[in-house]
Structure formats: structure tokens, C-alpha cells
Chains A and B, each alone.
Chain A
């Protein structure tokens, strides 16, 4: 019946693992990646019939996943505001109890720095550097232009470099 539905199994097969990994990276929790990837694909399933045949399905899924994640952050922060226990959590820092388990030690350092970046820079960096999306697609995911998406990635790279510098023994160029 509803055409293009048979195609949806193929969409899941081709992209589920990658979307799951993306969400694991940005949330820092395997359990959140499970929930949010499921939500991403259920939304995609509902909208799949309206997708044009030549659409870039992968880019489209990343856009949905990013949206799902941002909604999740909003509801998380609502929950946090509702409970005073949230005071333990420094504002802005993501909740990452099992996050470090996801990465090896050297990469973990970078991972922690990325986690501390502003949301858009963090997402743009992850989409670009980990998942190789082009700036046009990242712009679509973040509701901004390709140019702005690129600027987010570059800002992220600068900040990461500086953060790594700070971790090094103080040098002549550390402040640059």
C-alpha cells in the first residue's frame, strides 16, 4: 500500500547504526541513544511517504535526529528546573555518567572538551568531523546557512585547540 514503505526497512538497515552512534556521541549515554534513535526512526517512518524519491535520506535522518536530540535537551532542562537536585549539575554541562566508557582515554579528553562546547558548535563539529556531513546538510540540521554551519565548526576547532593548549605545560604560544 503506502508506497516507499518497503524502502523503509532498507533505510533502517543502512542508517540505524550510524544515527545511533551520533546520538550516543552527543548525548553521552547509550540508553539515550537507544531511545532517541528509536524516536528518530519512528518520526522518519511517518514522514517517509512524503519524501521525494531523490532526497538525501542520510542527511534527512541526521536532521531529524538533531531535532529529536534538541527537543530532548529542552525537556531535560525542564525536568532539571523542576527538581532542585539538579543543583548538583553545573549549568550547561551535559549529563554524562557513562560517557567516558564510550571512548578510549586519549579520545576521551577530546570528547570532554567537545561536550563543553556551546550546543550548535558541538553539533556542527560532530556532524562534520565525525560523520563527514557537508555544510549544506549541517545547515539544514541546525536551521542555519551552510556558511554559519562552517563558522560553527571552525569556532569549535579553535576552542578545542585552545583547550588542549591549556592542558599542556604553559608555553609561549599557549594564549594564542
Chain B
């Protein structure tokens, strides 16, 4: 290896920088000055310039065609976007809840054991990719709070029913969604509505898998004696509270709560009038043939007129 003079050694970093087009003006002056008197460095400089020329050529070489890769990427993105749900975990009066929505609409309302995403069943479900996004979900939560505090009677959100399991469940949930605010019926009653009067248990199962409790008001469906069976596992307290918000009277204490049938207005399915529970034509009919209303206001908000025989408008159950 030849010995390199100290002057050449000192100028080398600037020489490289200038050759690749990155040095300062001062460095350029120094390098030009040095090159004028140093032939070996001039040759070295020229070879660096040759590297640059080769680099320029390398840049002109086109890469492999990316279009097939891009098309595949775009189809993966479509799929990913579909599976992606914006979720928020909120402290509600009913305990921690998770709200999830897709681009199409609200996908899930879930009661949580703990105020964390990790405690959610949805987080463990396959096929969903959850992204915590309070900005997207907090408007929903504000609506939910209004509902739970009685300031609104409907959650008319766009819904995405992707988590509903099959056609039968969909029909049951649609029928439940048609139950008016402040009204209840029985599992058998709902079974009759969806055309399977012999299968109230299947109806109860479908409601048990309601991915959108509160929004699809499965809490308005009770046992044939009016008892509040089965809600979110054994959270009868939640069912009681939701019905309470709607003005449905509950009796029977914490052990065995039930709607207080004799304190509710009555309407046979299909009828356009509501009656007192003592009205002759309807008072003795089984719950499966009826819808019960907690208040006149709820009945009238559902578009019903007072019965012209028993006159609930003249003899209200409660002032």
C-alpha cells in the first residue's frame, strides 16, 4: 500500500463529498485548490465521478413491474378494511360497555366484565380487527347515555348485522326491534310473530346472541308469566333497569323480578287500540297474544288509540 501524504489524507472526506455532490462551498474551494496541484487525487476524484455516473445509470434501470403486487395489495386492503372495527370502551350507568362500528354501521354493543378491551368477547372473536377509536364511537356513547337517562327513546343508528348468526336469528331480532319503547311481550309471543309458535326456546336462543342489546331491545321480551328471565347471562338487574327507564312497572324483588301485569296497559297483537288490564275482551288472554305497555304515553307513542269499551283514557292506571 502506498503511503498517502497528510495533505491528501486531510482533504479526502471533502473530496468524496464534492465528488458525490454533497460538499459545502468552502469544501469545494479547498478541493479544487488541492486537485490543481495533486495528480493522484485528481485521478481519485475522477474515479469517484465515475461511480456517480454509474449510480445515475442504476437509477434509470426500471424495477420489476409492481402492478400485480399492487392489485393483490389492494384486494387485501379491501378485506382488511371490512374486518376492521372502530371500538370504544365506556363507563356507562350499566357498567363498562364496548361499542363497535364498521364503515356500514354499528356492529356490537357489549357489556364488559372490566373496563378494558381485553375483557371483550368481540376482541377474542375471529375475523374482526379492533382498533380503539374513541372519536368514532363517543357520539354513539352520548346517544346511549341519553337513552339510558330517558332523554331519547330510540337509538336509530345505522346497523351492521354481520355478527347475527343466520337468517332465523335475523328474523327474530327484526321482530324484537319492532317492539315499541315501553312495551313487553313474551318469548312465545315473539315466536308467534316470527312464525314459529312452537319454538319459544329457539327464539330465546336467538335473543341471547343478540350482538346489539339495547339497540335491538331484546330486554322487552319476558317469560310467559312476565318474569324477567335471561339477560346478558344472568344480569337480570340490567334488564330490570332498562325496563325501568322505559316506565315498565316491575314487581317481585331482586330474586324473581317480573313485569307487573295488572299495572300495565294491554294490546293484542295486530290491534290498534290499547286497553286496561281488566278489559273484558283481552284481560284473560295469555301473554303470548299480547303486548303490554308501561304507560299510556308509551302506547300512544306506538300509534295506539284508547279502547272505546274500557276507556283507559278516562280511567288511567296511574295518574
Q: Of A38, A161, A173, which one neighbours B72 at CB under 8 angstroms?
A: A38
Quick one: given A12-B77, A49-B131, are A130 and B58 in contact (CB under 8 Å)? yes
Q: Given contacts A33-B69, A110-B55, A165-B47, is CB(A1)–CB(B102) below 8 Å?
A: yes
In angstroms, Cα B61 to Cα A37, docked, is 19
Q: Do B131 and A2 touch (CB < 8 A)?
A: yes
A122 interface residue, CB < 8 Å from B? no
Which of A13-21, A66-74, A86-94 touches B? Answer: A13-21
Q: How many residues of A contact B (CB 8 A)?
A: 43
- B interface, how many residues as a size bin? 35 or more
> Which of B26-34, B78-86, B147-155, B301-309 lines the interface with chain A?
B78-86
Q: Give every chain B residue within 8 A of A161 (Cβ-Cβ).
A: 44, 47-48, 51
Which of B12-20, B168-176, B180-188, B273-281 contacts its partner? B12-20
For chain B, residues 43 to 63, give those with C-beta under 8 angstroms from any C-beta of chain A: 43-44, 47-48, 50-51, 54-55, 57-63
Most buried by A among B48, B50, B66, B68: B66
Q: Which of B75-103 contact A (CB under 8 A)?
A: 76-77, 80-81, 84, 86, 101-103
Determine whether the beta carbon of B44 is less than 8 Å from that of A176. yes
Contacts of A12 in B (CB 8 A): 70, 73-74, 77
Instruction: State A46–B60 Cα separation when bound (angstroms).
Output: 33
Q: Within 8 Å of chain B (Cβ to Cβ): is A129?
A: yes
- Verify A2–B84 contact, CB threshold 8 A: yes
Least CB distance from B281 to A in Å reads 50
Whether A104 contacts B16 by the Cβ 8 Å rule is no
The answer to whether A21 and B40 touch across the interface, beta carbons within 8 angstroms, is no
B81 and A173 contacting across the interface, CB-CB below 8 Å: no
Q: B136 and A175: CB pair below 8 A?
A: no
Q: A41-B73, A160-B51, A164-B47 are in contact. Are A34 and B80 (CB under 8 A)?
A: no
Q: Which residue of A lies closest to B22 (CB)?
A: A150
* A42 and B76 within 8 A (CB): yes
**In the complex, are the beta carbons of A20 and B16 less than 8 A apart?**
no
Do B64 and A24 touch across chains, with their CB atoms under 8 A apart? yes
Contacts of A103 in B (CB 8 A): 58, 61
Tell me, rounded to whole Å, the shortest Cβ–Cβ distance linking A18 to chain B.
9
**Which of A42, A107, A158, A172 is the one whose CB lies under 8 Å from B58?**
A107
* A102 in contact with B61 (CB, 8 Å): yes
Q: Does B2 contact A (CB under 8 A)?
A: yes
| Contact call B73/A38, Cβ cutoff below 8 A | yes
CB contacts between A and B, total, < 8 Å = 124
On whether A20 and B40 interact (CB within 8 A), knowing A33-B63, A102-B63, A164-B51, the answer reads no
Most chain A beta-carbon contacts within 10 A, residue among B17, B58, B135: B58
Residue A84 interfacial (CB < 8 Å): no
**Complex Cα spacing A30 to B131, Å:** 33
Question: How far apart are A33's CB and chain B's nearest CB, in angstroms?
Answer: 6
Residue of B17, B61, B103 with most chain A CB atoms under a 10 A cut-off: B61
A8–B47 CB distance below 8 A: no
Q: Once the chains are docked, how many angstroms separate the CA of A131 from the CA of B81?
A: 30
Give A1-50 interface residues, CB cut-off 8 Å to B. Answer: 1-3, 5, 8, 12, 16-17, 20-21, 24-25, 30, 33-34, 37-38, 41-42, 45-46, 49
Whole-angstrom distance from the CB of A17 to the nearest CB of chain B?
Answer: 5
Q: A49-B131, A107-B61, A130-B58 are in contact. Are A16 and B40 (CB under 8 A)?
A: no
Closest to A153 in B: B20
**Assembled-state Cα–Cα distance A175/B13 (Å):** 17
Contact A20 B63 (CB under 8 A): yes
Nearest CB on B from A5, distance (A): 7
Tell me, in angstroms, the Cα distance from A157 to B58 when the chains sit together: 14
User: In this assembly, does B1 line the interface, its C-beta being within 8 Å of a C-beta of chain A?
Assistant: yes
Residues of B within 8 A of A42 (CB): 73, 76-77, 80
Show the binding face of B for A, using Cβ within 8 Å.
1-2, 4, 13, 16-17, 20, 40, 43-44, 47-48, 50-51, 54-55, 57-66, 68-70, 72-74, 76-77, 80-81, 84, 86, 101-103, 131, 133, 135-136
**30 cross-chain CB contacts under 8 A:** A1-B103, A1-B133, A12-B70, A12-B74, A17-B63, A17-B66, A21-B62, A21-B66, A33-B64, A34-B68, A37-B69, A41-B77, A45-B77, A46-B131, A49-B133, A103-B58, A107-B61, A109-B54, A110-B57, A130-B59, A154-B13, A154-B20, A157-B20, A157-B51, A158-B16, A161-B44, A164-B51, A173-B40, A175-B1, A176-B2
9 residue pairs, one from A and one from B, having the closest CB atoms: A21-B63, A30-B64, A20-B66, A34-B69, A107-B58, A110-B54, A24-B63, A103-B61, A107-B57
